[in-house]
Amino acid sequence: MSTRSWVVVGVAAMALATAGHARAGSVTWTPEQWEAVDTLKLCTTAPGEAPHCFPVWLVVLDGDVYVRLGTRATHRMRNNATAPFVAVEISGTRFERVRAIEAPESVERVNAAMADKYWTDFLVRLVSHPLTMRLKPDEGAATP
């Protein structure tokens, strides 16, 4: 191989390595960057069914992502075949393995944060929200 060919191969290899590094950096779980994001999608799998994704509001408190679920979403979470794990889609990134942790101790704080973040929450909170959850990813669970 000529010197010129080696240079081209080297530049191509560096470009691929840099692209891979940038992609890996963009798929980390970064709740502080999602404080202004309005919704994420939770993806559950009911026994014998295909995965189903649905949008929910989110808030970030003390560096953790919280969601408050209505009756139908609570049913889906409690019957999820992959429990306690769900897939989460947020800001164009899908995290395949996120632990959904019931957080009854955080209900009041999450309700207050939802009221502060979403102006329509005064109507939404009239509907039952039996489940509040904190979301924590397994390491390496993201895909771009």
Domain ranges for the chain: 31-143
Tell me the H-state helices in the chain.
3-26, 71-78, 107-117, 121-124
Q: What is the distance between the terminal CA atoms of the chain, rounded to a whole angstrom?
A: 36
pLDDT (0 to 100) of residue 126: 77
pLDDT at 61 > cutoff 70: yes
Of all residues in the chain, the percent with pLDDT exceeding 70 is 78
Tokens 């559950």 -> residue: 44
pLDDT (0 to 100) of residue 142: 56
pTM for this prediction: 0.78
pLDDT (0 to 100) of residue 30: 96
Give the integer Cα–Cα distance in Å for 103 and 101: 6
pLDDT at 125 > cutoff 60: yes
pLDDT at 27 > cutoff 80: no
Average pLDDT score, the chain:
83
Give the integer Cα–Cα distance in Å for 135 and 86: 9
CATH number for the segment(s) 31-143: 2.30.110.10
pLDDT (0 to 100) of residue 1: 55
| 62 three-class SS | coil
